[in-house]
Amino acid sequence: MTPLIAKVREQHPSAEIVLITSIAMAPLYSKRPYDVTVWPYHPRHFQTVAKMFEKDGFDLAIVPGNNRYGWLAAALRSKWIVAHAEDHPKLKSWLIDEQVPYPVSPQALGEIFADLIPGASPKPYSLSDWPAPDCDAFDMPSKPYAVIHVGASTPLKFWEPDKWRTVADWLSGQSIEVVWSGGERETDVVQQVDPDRRHKSCAGQLKLNQLWRLISNASIFISPDTGVAHLARLIGAPSITLFGPGSASLFGRGEFWRNVPSREVTIEDFSCRDQDDIFNRHRPWIKHCFRSQTECQFAACMHAIDTLDVIEAAEQLLQHNI
């Protein structure tokens, strides 16, 4: 969403910008990056919806992703609602005033969202654009250290434990302490990767703003293509993202994040990374995979990623940032 927010701010420097976001993400916006106001939202928490109606009547509502939120924009008495074309079923788009087509050539998702308003592309991201949120103190590791986040939204994005151990051993050989990371439900994933507990783990122990602090001081961050990888990019940490089912061109840096020190490691044109839609919009250049574990029981695209490629990317980033 950040390229879109940045573009709106550049196009409308004095406008009030309100972002509706998940409750979990709201603390990241506590210092008001891009001078944005955040409304935490969950459709099953009525109080979050009711609070929105204390201030409605927006001049413009922008609906990235699923057009069903156009109905919420209309309920908030938005004068003009913009979303992408081709969502289905069509009733999702009944209240959309302007529908913008998806691009016909490859583009990162952040830039696709930013195209919902006209004008020049936003300036590339700078670390000064997003002040770090405050957080409670916690036990920080000694520098230099690396954060390896082994969890993901699906086991089909998990990398094999022995490969993680190989990368961890290499980092240790560079006198860099390794810290494992994972969500509160991913402590068992860390246990499988490091059964002997050779390295410190913060899995399930940190709030999102504390995780920001941990990653921001790391010499390098490594993870599968998951939400925390996007957080590391936002923080500006030297980071490596392993793309298996996901598309590095669709979910990678793109133009907006091009100055952030990061690397994407993937197997290009993997045979079963062949699904061509995102948010119900189909384009032949979209090549990713969102199959479930029922449909795919072996994450061949992740297993094909070689440790040497990850270590080579780490060497490049570490040399660049010494």
The pLDDT, as a whole number, for residue 55 is: 83
| pLDDT tens digit at each of 322 positions of the chain | 999 999 999 999 999 999 999 999 999 999 999 999 999 999 889 889 888 888 889 999 999 999 999 999 999 999 999 999 999 999 999 999 999 999 999 999 999 999 999 999 999 999 999 999 999 999 999 999 999 999 999 999 999 999 999 999 999 999 999 999 999 999 999 999 999 999 999 999 999 999 999 999 999 999 999 999 999 999 999 999 999 999 999 999 999 999 999 999 999 999 999 999 999 999 999 999 999 999 998 899 999 999 999 999 999 999 876 5
The pLDDT, as a whole number, for residue 321 is: 67
Q: What pTM was estimated for this model as a whole?
A: 0.94
Statement: 2-119 belongs to CATH 3.40.50.2000: yes
Tokens of 154: 């699906």
The domain ranges of the chain are 2-119, 145-321
Assigned CATH class of 145-321: alpha beta
Domains 2-119 and 145-321 share a fold: yes
